[in-house]
Amino acid sequence: MTVIVHHLNNSRSQRILWLLEELGEPYEVRRYERDAKTMRAPASLRAVHPLGRSPVVEVDGHRLIETGAIMEYLVARAGGRFGPPADAQGAIRYRQFLHYAEGSMMPPLLALLVVNRLGLLGRPARPTVQGMLNDHLDWLESELADRPFFAGDAFTAADMMMSFPLEASRARGGLDGSRPRLIRWLGEMHDRPAYRAALKAGGPYAYA
């Protein structure tokens, strides 16, 4: 059965396309474009799900939301490919980063986006929010000191989940060459053939 991905440009749904490409799973993309001024999703996405957010995936008679939950479902459906490593510590890291990407890393990034859009009004808050984000980036840099991927020695769905917040950090959150391990990791993610195929399938992507 073909997986249907309701894909909003420049959104978290890009990671779902990437996972499906890595899995070699057939899928159909239904595209939605953000409003150029407000960057909000179109009203047509609310016809798919009342929250009007992306990704929304239709698979096996289910309509799924939330990137991490969709990742877990598709990984399990594929027999655990790109799932947790066999060792206990690797499995813990896998689950940790699968949820950390949205639960802990994205809030300061979103706060920084709002603060920057406030212009002069947001200027007093910028150092505090950037400092919060820097704490995350410093920790993530240290996490890659003794292994090539976030869960361990092998590429997993946890790396796919981490791509979006780190791409956003590279674009607007201060991630630069002062954190070479994160820059190296991000470059390797962008060099994966499945990542590039997902970009072609999803269309222009501002954080790539």
Looking at the structure, do residues 26 and 36 belong to the same domain, yes or no?
A: yes
DSSP SS3 for 116? helix
Q: Is the pLDDT of residue 204 over 90?
A: no
- B/e letters for 81-109, b = 16+ CB within 10 Å, e = fewer, are bbbbbeeeebbebbbbbbebbbeebbebb
The arithmetic mean of pLDDT across residues 21-35, rounded, is: 93
* Two structure tokens written together for 28: 């159909």
The arithmetic mean of pLDDT across residues 110-130, rounded, is: 91
70 domain residue, yes or no: yes
46 domain residue, yes or no: yes
Percent of the residues in the chain that have a pLDDT greater than 90, as a whole number: 80
The arithmetic mean of pLDDT across residues 100-108, rounded, is: 96
Looking at the structure, do residues 58 and 127 belong to the same domain, yes or no?
A: no
Looking at the structure, do residues 44 and 62 belong to the same domain, yes or no?
A: yes
The arithmetic mean of pLDDT across residues 107-129, rounded, is: 91
Torsion, Cα 65 171 93 129, to 10 degrees, reads -90
Looking at the structure, do residues 65 and 34 belong to the same domain, yes or no?
A: yes
Structural domains of the chain, count: 2
Q: Which of 197, 151, 138, 168 minimizes the C-alpha distance to 18?
A: 197
185 domain residue, yes or no: yes
pTM of the model: 0.93
Task: Give residue 47's domain range.
Answer: 3-82+194-202
96 domain residue, yes or no: yes
Which residue(s) pair with 137 in the sheet? none
208 domain residue, yes or no: no
Looking at the structure, do residues 93 and 179 belong to the same domain, yes or no?
A: yes
* Residue length of the chain: 208
13 domain residue, yes or no: yes
